[in-house]
Structure 1
Amino acid sequence: MGEDEPVIAMPAVQTIEEWVELAHTEGLTDGLPVYPPTRAAVDALVMASGRDPGLLLGAIPPRGGAATVEVLAANAAMAGCRPEHFEVVLSAVEAMLEDRFNLRGVVTTTHPCWPLIIVSGPVVEQLQMAHAESVFSGGGAHAGAAIGRAVKLILWNVGGATPGEPVKEVLGHPGRYAFCVAESPAGPWPPLHQARGIKAGSGVTVFACESPTSVALWGTDDTPSNRLAQLADAMALKGGNNTHTMGEILVIFTPNEARHLFEQGYDREAVQLDLWQRARRRIGDLLAPGLPPYNWWPAWVDAGDPDTLVPVTERPEDIHVVVTGAESIPWMAVCAGWGNLGGHAVSRALDEGTGQD
């Protein structure tokens, strides 16, 4: 192929406008314009990965398309990824392909969840990722938007995750365009991937969740228990999947709020335990009269007592704590999970060279 020809077999185009229209016509995009995956762009990404272009990472559901390094590079090129971004994309895809993530279920469910890509460690600053204002909408930075967009295009083009058939998501999720955030280096606790047992300096975590629900600190004082109670209340939504099926959930603290908690003696584990003890609902409030208790609740839940308080996760460590966002005022947020159905967090190490020239 010539340097300016797409790596996928498509009719020849002469202008970028022709390419954009062709991409829409051929269903290569979900509505937003994409870059042409030229041979030069794809080769640069593959070379940066240090992997063989034909290396197969797995099959992307629901279609089962072959996720070779070259195919993933083509989609990353369409998303505008630079070579230094590509290792994050590859690691995220590898994480999503682990069985416990249940990628097929995540992309085809009626529930509005989507894989959130969370990058943590020194690579955040090496890639110049946004981690302050507007972090969940890209923050104006290239890396996070391109990485999140690449994952979406991979699931769209390789996996065939298109609305109607086979995707049955009833309301949708704004993060389906691009859903990637960076953890702030200004937080007081170890980065997320290290808290999850990955010893590398930098890492990527995938977790299928809803878009963030903000939690302001109206009416609270400086006492950590009162502030965390505000967050726990938002976690235990009566109609939420977590409240009925447990699973995993993600909570966000701005760096200044995380430091406040840390200065009051709260490490990440203490925050998780406090929230786990508070974010609960009465069985009598969850189930209409006459309905039997759920058979997926663990044995230690006294399901026969309507006053039993059921936590939103089975264990404190199933509450994932992320530090990100601006520091203008303290803030918190909740990203509800899919419950016990899947989308569970998976973390992978990033190569020490990721983000380096």
Structure 2
Amino acid sequence: MGTLTTATTIEEWVALAHAEGLTDGLPVYPPTRAAVDALVATSGDDPGRLLGVIPPRGGAATVEVVAANAAMAGCRPEHFPTALGAVEAMLEEKFNLRGVVTTTHPCWPLVIVSGPVVERLGMAHAESVFSGGGSHANAAIGRAVKLLLWNVGGAHPGEPVKEVFGHPGRYAYCVAESPVSPWPALHRDRGIDTDSGVTVFACESPTSVALWGTDDSPSRRLDQLADAMAVKGGNNTHTMGETLVVLTPNEARHLAEQGYGRAEVQRELWQRARRRIGDLLAPGVAPYSWWPHWVDGDDPDFLVPVTERPEDIHVLVTGAESIPWMAVCAGWGNLGGHAVSRALDDRSWQD
């Protein structure tokens, strides 16, 4: 960020950032030495520690480099450990970050924060949660991820990013799990035994699922959601992989009162979110080689599920309680972007 020294006013900095390609179009804050040092100090980490390289350019993501981009995103010191945890999660091999940022598919890393850290950071988890909900923390953490991939990874449209449509989450894609969920925090159900955690999953923007025409039956309500999961042209429908479904807290409570935990919801959806092979493959098209051995590709009436296992359907509780509602955030399929969860050190955000 050496060019920062040539800007002496905020107006000059904004103009310089656009001219040097340090932003994707939105204004960014100047990454001053003081701002970057404050973020690193809050993490308690070594500024030179290498987290990994950011594809496709292969730029080095040290703690200090991540902090510089987080400072540009407007992260406060208390936000930074969560942003750092998200970066470490998406650098794990199973996430396939290179594929996620360069694919033609409209997926992007969604950062999901869960546990007491949500309220400590003042994160939005009700109205308009998928557009930041007016929260500084949601916007800044999501933006930090984007700017790191932009500036260090060189993930620019055209070359090398070939994503055909994209979605607004590419500016900032960060949500918080509702503290009033009737079920354990998402990261805990994924095996992370800490109070707070962060999960990163590459997915599309949410597709709304209203409860028109249903009654109080959990099976009927979940069937409505399953229908939206198994769209004929979706990557999950053809390649499985993982997907995300979202329930408002009041809908999750309704299901919980009927004896459904997160695992029961996953199993019900897995049984219902399926398509006939005869509907998926045109005559003469061979069954996919990546389908599991138990898929009978020769039977046009065989129902193929959208994921290989029930636990590959991630269930998130968030959003407002105006009325019960659901949503689907389809995944990239079996190509990558799979969910990775990391623990958040409580000391990094406590007063």
Same fold (TM over 0.5): yes
Structure 1 gaps, min length 5: 1-6
Number of residue pairs matched by the alignment: 351
**Residue in 2 that maps onto 1:4:** none
CA contact (8 A) 2:90 2:200 kept: yes
**Residue in 2 that maps onto 1:274:** 268
**Residue in 1 that maps onto 2:127:** 133
**Residue in 2 that maps onto 1:66:** 60
**Residue in 2 that maps onto 1:344:** 338
Question: Which one of 210, 214, 228 corresponds to residue 220 of structure 1?
Answer: 214
Question: Which one of 33, 37, 41 corresponds to residue 35 of structure 2?
Answer: 41
- Paired with 2:73 and 2:286, the residues of 1 have a C-alpha distance of 48
**Residue in 2 that maps onto 1:263:** 257
Alignment of 1:245-324 (within 5 A): 245-324=239-318
Q: State the Cα distance separating 1:13 from its structure 2 match.
A: 1.1
Q: What secondary structure does 2:51 align onto?
A: strand
**Residue in 1 that maps onto 2:164:** 170
Q: State the Cα distance separating 1:353 from its structure 2 match.
A: 1.8
Identity score, percent: 82
Cα RMSD, aligned residues only: 0.7
Alignment of 1:88-237 (within 5 A): 88-237=82-231
CA contact (8 A) 1:279 1:311 kept: yes
Question: Which one of 237, 241, 246 corresponds to residue 235 of structure 2?
Answer: 241
- Paired with 2:28 and 2:50, the residues of 1 have a C-alpha distance of 24
- Paired with 1:40 and 1:333, the residues of 2 have a C-alpha distance of 41
Q: What secondary structure does 2:252 align onto?
A: helix
Q: What secondary structure does 2:297 align onto?
A: coil
Give a deviation string over 1:237-295, Cα, whole Å, max 9, x none.
00000000000000000000000000000000000000000000000000001110000
Q: State the Cα distance separating 1:12 from its structure 2 match.
A: 1.5
CA contact (8 A) 1:123 1:354 kept: no
Q: Which TM-score applies when normalising by structure 2?
A: 0.99
**4+ residue segments displaced more than 4 Å:** none
Q: Which TM-score applies when normalising by structure 1?
A: 0.97
1:83 equivalent in alignment to 2:77: yes
- Paired with 1:345 and 1:353, the residues of 2 have a C-alpha distance of 25
**What amino acid is the match of 1:109?**
T
Give a deviation string over 1:220-241, Cα, whole Å, max 9, x none.
0000000000000000000000
Q: State the Cα distance separating 1:72 from its structure 2 match.
A: 0.6
Give a deviation string over 1:118-173, Cα, whole Å, max 9, x none.
00000000001000000000000100100000000000001000000000001111
**What amino acid is the match of 2:93?**
D
Structure 2 gaps, min length 5: none
